[in-house]
């Protein structure tokens, strides 16, 4: 649906969450298509923009010199008009006064950067925010999983984590460097998990949680090792790191690279009050085993991040996922408003093959 020369998007459609804003703004820039988003998060207890959405939209607008309508926390309708001249700000400083997820805040920029031309690199310095957060990819996850797959297609993104940040105060210090592709992007084909010889893991623990006789990192690592060794004959390398943060927290994730180039992961797992370290380790182990036992090469968190890339790459790309969630379907439907390219979803005995033709 269009309003004047703008594409009108219902912000309450489908899962009606943050991904509609992130994807719509990014694809608006990629395809030079002005948009108006109405009913933003209308079906949520607190409708309208949250701080994280607002910062993400403003950062994309500032970087690409695009025009964003006046908006604030609670705004339920915005317009975004992309700058067709592709003259970018190559260095940007972003201040975040909350624990907003840095990974989600930058997602529209990473998608839009698929179309960046004429620059060698872009540097974004972020003061504040969360390197870990619920329902969001941690920066460690992005470094070891998402951006490794992106780089295989030709888009290189690096993160330098100077300081971690947890909810509720955030306080992370990070630098993101984007190296736009200078050549044609390569298609993605991840349909077979293949052979895995090593499972790696990172555990980040705030210094505030140090106890003389209760070493959280050792307990989590021991639990992971015990559960994985019962089910697999692979090398396991789990590291933990004590860090200085404003708010206390524990964040971990496991990942493994196979001989087919697939990288599977648990996604970001957070410690919680009254959740024993041993159970946290078991949750992580069971999550990665689920993908290995079912020959799934793309985890549930990576699939949503790869779909925009697959849609933009000119050649056919396909991935195998465990399921097609309502969130995934919303993303597929939204992208089709900008790019009418067809895709197929084929079910097999252990998962689904999603292919952009």
Q: Which residues are catalytic?
A: 327
Residue count (the chain): 357
Choose among 54, 44, 48, 45: nearest CA to 22. 54
Choose among 357, 313, 339, 342: nearest CA to 31. 339
Could you identify the residue written with the tokens 């060698």? 120
Q: Could you tell me which residues are beta bridge partners of residue 319?
A: 190, 354
Structural contact between residues 186 and 154, judged by C-beta atoms closer than 8 angstroms: yes
Choose among 67, 54, 179, 39: nearest CA to 120. 179
Q: Which helix (H) or strand (E) holds 99?
A: strand 91-101
What's the Cα-to-Cα distance from 18 to each of 143, 196, 222, rounded to whole Å?
22, 34, 36
Residues with Cβ < 8 Å from 131, sequence gap 6 or more? 102, 138, 139, 140, 161, 164, 165, 166, 172, 174, 204, 251
Query: Helices H, strands E: what count in the chain?
Result: 9, 18
How far, in Å, CA of 39 to CA of 76, rounded? Answer: 5
How far, in Å, CA of 309 to CA of 111, rounded? Answer: 7
Residues 308-340: b if buried by 16+ CB within 10 A, e if exposed? bbbbbbeeebbbbbbeeeeebebbbebbebbbe
Residues with Cβ < 8 Å from 147, sequence gap 6 or more? 156, 157, 158, 159
How far, in Å, CA of 255 to CA of 112, rounded? Answer: 26
């Amino acid at each position: 649906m269009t309003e004047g020369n703008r594409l009108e998007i219902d912000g309450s459609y489908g899962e009606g969450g943050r991904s509609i804003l992130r994807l719509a703004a990014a694809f608006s820039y990629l395809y030079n298509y002005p948009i108006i988003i109405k009913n933003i998060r209308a079906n949520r207890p607190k409708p309208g923009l949250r701080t994280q959405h607002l910062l993400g939209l403003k950062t994309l607008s500032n970087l690409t010199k695009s025009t964003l309508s006046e908006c604030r926390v609670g705004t339920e309708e915005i317009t975004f008009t992309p700058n067709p001249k592709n003259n970018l700000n190559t260095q940007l400083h972003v201040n975040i006064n909350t624990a907003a997820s840095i990974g989600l805040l930058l997602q529209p920029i990473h998608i839009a950067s698929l179309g960046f031309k004429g620059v060698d690199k872009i540097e974004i310095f972020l003061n504040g925010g969360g390197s870990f957060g619920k329902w969001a990819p941690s920066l460690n996850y992005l470094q070891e999983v998402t951006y490794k797959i992106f780089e295989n297609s030709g888009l290189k993104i690096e993160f330098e984590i100077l300081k971690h940040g947890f909810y509720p105060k955030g306080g992370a210090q990070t630098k993101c460097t984007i190296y736009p592709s200078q050549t044609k992007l390569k298609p993605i084909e991840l349909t077979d998990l293949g052979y895995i010889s090593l499972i790696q893991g990172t555990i980040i623990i705030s210094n505030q949680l140090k106890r003389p006789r209760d070493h959280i990192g050792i307990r989590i690592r021991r639990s992971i090792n015990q559960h994985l060794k019962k089910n697999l004959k692979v090398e396991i390398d789990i590291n933990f790191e004590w860090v200085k943060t404003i708010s206390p927290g524990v964040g971990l994730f496991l990942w493994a690279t196979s001989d087919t180039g697939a990288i599977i992961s648990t996604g970001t797992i957070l410690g919680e009050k009254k959740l024993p370290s041993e159970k946290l380790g078991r949750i992580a182990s069971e999550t990665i085993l689920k993908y290995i036992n079912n020959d799934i090469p793309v985890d549930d968190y990576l699939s949503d991040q790869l779909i925009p890339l697959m849609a933009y790459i000119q050649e056919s790309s396909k991935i195998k996922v465990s399921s097609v969630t309502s969130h995934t379907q919303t993303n597929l439907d939204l992208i089709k408003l900008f790019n009418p390219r067809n895709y197929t979803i084929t079910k097999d005995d252990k998962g689904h093959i999603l292919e952009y033709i």
